[in-house]
Amino acid sequence: MSILVLAEHHDGQLAGATAHVVAAAKAIGGDIDVLVAGENVGAVAEAAAKLDGVSKVRVADNAVYAHQLAEPMGALLVELAGDYSHVLAAATTTGKNVLPRVAALKDVSQISEIVEVVDADTFKRPIYAGNAIATVKSADSLKVITVRSTGFDAVAEGGSAAVESVDIVADNSQSCFVKQELAQSDRPELAAAKVVISGGRGMGSGENFKLLDGIADKLGAAIGASRAAVDAGFVPNDMQVGQTGKIVAPELYIAVGISGAIQHLAGMKDSKVIVAINKDEEAPIFQVADYGLVGDLFEILPELESKL
Amino acid sequence: MKVLVAVKRVIDYNVKIRVKADHSDVDLTNVKMAMNPFCEIAVEEAVRLKEKGVATEVVAVTIGPKAAQEQLRTALALGADRAIHVETEERVESLAAAKLLAKVVEEEQPGLVILGKQAIDTDNNQTGQMLAALAGLPQGTFASEVVVEGDKLQVTREIDGGLQTVELTLPAIVTTDLRLNEPRYAKLPDIMKAKKKPLDVKSPADLGVEVASKLTLLKVESPAERKGGIKVGSVDELVDKLKNEAKVI
Ligand SMILES: Cc1cc2nc3c(=O)[nH]c(=O)nc-3n(C[C@H](O)[C@H](O)[C@H](O)COP(=O)(O)OP(=O)(O)OC[C@H]3O[C@@H](n4cnc5c(N)ncnc54)[C@H](O)[C@@H]3O)c2cc1C
Ligand SMILES: Nc1ncnc2c1ncn2[C@@H]1O[C@H](COP(=O)(O)O)[C@@H](O)[C@H]1O
């Protein structure tokens, strides 16, 4: 068995998600190669070579892969896939964008967002917003899989894989990058943070989200949000936690002014400890919270900040 | 420009699902079904393009059992001009759906195809990308804004880090995210009118596509239930529990 893992990277840095995908690859078993595709990605390749369990890093460094547009990335992976039994990527917006193209062009199914490897052909994945877990078995010769990071503990560093370059240059005349507006934050990444504090519609405005800042500073937390808070324009889309946003599983998740719709729970119910702050004692979020505090968030948040 | 919209019949998003006792699947008997919410957003976008004079015709397509015609009628009531039903009682995986849609694209030659980013039953998030690959067309996934400019399409995409804008040549494939628009509700007169709009029925065999998949669903289980916790009476008590009981701060 041989597995190709697509590396996730941003701004010339290897993203944390890749170490989780390599962990999933180790659970499948076999040789693990990592593909780093992008422009000026030498440092990414070096970081990937250090991941435990990786045998080889293949680097496609070319302007056509800048911004990792789906069309050239898909074409590159299709060229390489023939050497492998499995192609894996993180279930991030990059992985989700690219991998189904590879599956379709190789005429195989894709298995999305696996959370457990049963054996090399059999995987568990959540369906219906995580309200059911499906076990699926693939008889395809190539398995194309996206991996949910929260399902697999990241592998450590300590490896020293060989790095080789791939000189395939896909051509792409169909799509081009125009611009990107990325959130700037000194806080930890939502998906990797040990503590997450999220605000919902109950926060009332974007301005009021500042009430979460002091607490997040003290706890080293990332800040998230419900869909209602994003739709209302309080905060940007990249903060949405849930079935169709980011999936998080921190040590501590604090939900503030969030009712606890199944679509929100889908993104956070695997957190180790859940705290809910809500003025409605009947709010469904209390059914999953380890510690619930009923009351007005505008009183509770300043007090909580002062007592931490 | 003709716009093709793919809509899927799924469980209503408000329904709490149950797993069958024999763990073969989720129990859908007597469960309320609806159009996948992301597909509602797709229909809305197509109809708005028509209202703006960019689209000339909106064609809705679904693959599924006889009952899926309800969702096509909904799309017609919302403003689609005609509908195509690829009828099958079999389970249709995303790859097969994409192959069938690729055949419909070949026949219809639309300038733009809009799909949901994800069906909320299987949570696959694959079909639009697969269709793009099979049809040899560029894709703008997770769209929060779509602007047609001549023979080009600008798509703003919701990505993990924020927003990204890409420019695609037309024809192209777009998948919708939640912020693309707010779908309207169908009005009663439009629901009546929709009953008379054309609806074509085909079979997968008519399109020359094999629906069977190499993926087998072995088992469906309920996830581990979280046991409910306690209510604390004050911020002090909360901080104390987090420090000394849960030991997470
Ligand atoms: C296709 C689809 C996908 C979706 N995906 C997601 C997703 O990924 N993530 C997501 O979060 N949602 C998602 N949703 C939306 C979801 O169904 C809910 O609508 C949403 O989560 C509600 O957000 P909320 O809890 O902030 O708002 P509400 O449900 O309005 O709850 C607000 C809460 O704040 C409390 N509150 C108000 N004022 C105060 C105060 N002063 N002090 C204390 N508490 C207060 C209220 O008691 C209430 O419980 C999706 C829905 C659909 C249809
Ligand atoms: N059976 C189907 N019929 C019509 N459209 C579908 C079907 N399955 C998937 N789609 C389209 O593909 C989108 C994404 O679905 P999926 O990839 O299954 O999560 C949906 O929102 C629909 O637009």
* Angstroms from B246 CA to nearest CA on chain A: 7
Q: Which percentage of chain B shows pLDDT scores above 90?
A: 98
pLDDT digits (tens, 9 = 90+) for A82-109: 999 999 999 999 999 999 999 999 999 9
| Closest approach of A94 to chain B, Cα-based (Å) | 8
Looking at the predicted structure, is the pLDDT value of residue B146 above 90?
yes
DSSP code of B170?
S
How confident is residue A185, by pLDDT bands cut at 50, 70 and 90? confident
pLDDT in tens, B52-65: 999 999 999 999 99
Q: Which ligand is nearest to the CA of B141?
A: 2
| Centroid of ligand 2 to alpha carbon of A50 (angstroms) | 39
pLDDT of residue B72: 98
Q: How far is the CA of A230 from the centre of ligand 1 (A)?
A: 10
Region B106-127: mean pLDDT is: 98
Quickly state the pLDDT bin for B226 (edges 50, 70, 90).
Answer: confident
pLDDT tens figures, A114-152: 999 999 999 999 999 999 999 999 999 999 999 999 999
Contact B164/A134, CB-based, under 8 Å?
A: no
What confidence tens digit (pLDDT) does each residue in A29-46 have?
Answer: 999 999 999 999 999 999
Contact B163 A237 (CB under 8 A): yes
pLDDT at A183 over 90: no
Report CB contact under 8 Å: B122, A127.
yes
Q: Note whether A81 and A142 are within 8 A (CB).
A: yes
Phi, psi of A290 (to 5 degrees): -75, -40
A36: CB partners within 8 A, 6+ apart: A7, A9, A44, A45, A48, A57, A58, A59, A60, A61
Assign A50 a pLDDT band (cuts: 50, 70, 90). Answer: very high
Residue of A231, A246, A247, A259 best suited for mutating to test ligand 1, as the one with most atoms within 8 Å of CB:
A259
Ligand number with the minimum distance to the CA of A96? 2
Mean confidence (pLDDT) of chain A = 97
Q: How remote is the CA of residue A100 from the centroid of ligand 2, in Å?
A: 13
H helices then E strands: how many in chain B? Answer: 6, 13
* Cross-chain residue pair B123–A113, CB shorter than 8 Å: yes
User: Which residue of chain B is at minimal alpha-carbon distance from A218?
Assistant: B249
Read off the tokens for A178. 């125009």
For A231-288, the pLDDT digits (tens) are: 999 999 999 999 999 999 999 999 999 999 999 999 999 999 999 999 999 999 999 9
Determine the residue of chain A that is closest to B243 in CA distance.
A308
Count of other CB atoms within 10 angstroms of residue B162? 16
Residue A184 pLDDT class (50, 70, 90 cuts): confident
- Average model confidence (pLDDT) across chain B: 97
The whole-angstrom distance between B202's CA and the closest CA on chain A is 23
CA distances to A50, A211, A260, A266, A294 from A226, in Å? 36, 16, 9, 11, 19
Q: Assess whether pLDDT exceeds 90 at residue B225.
A: no
Band the pLDDT of B196: cuts 50, 70, 90.
very high
Please report which ligand is nearest the Cα atom of A232. Answer: 1
Q: Do A93 and B158 touch (CB under 8 A)?
A: yes
pTM: 0.97
What is the reported pLDDT for B55?
A: 97
ipTM, two decimals: 0.97
Q: Which residue of A has its CA nearest to B24?
A: A134
Segment B223-237 shows an average pLDDT of 93
pLDDT digits (tens, 9 = 90+) for A196-233: 999 999 999 999 999 999 999 999 999 999 999 999 99
- At B166 the pLDDT is 98
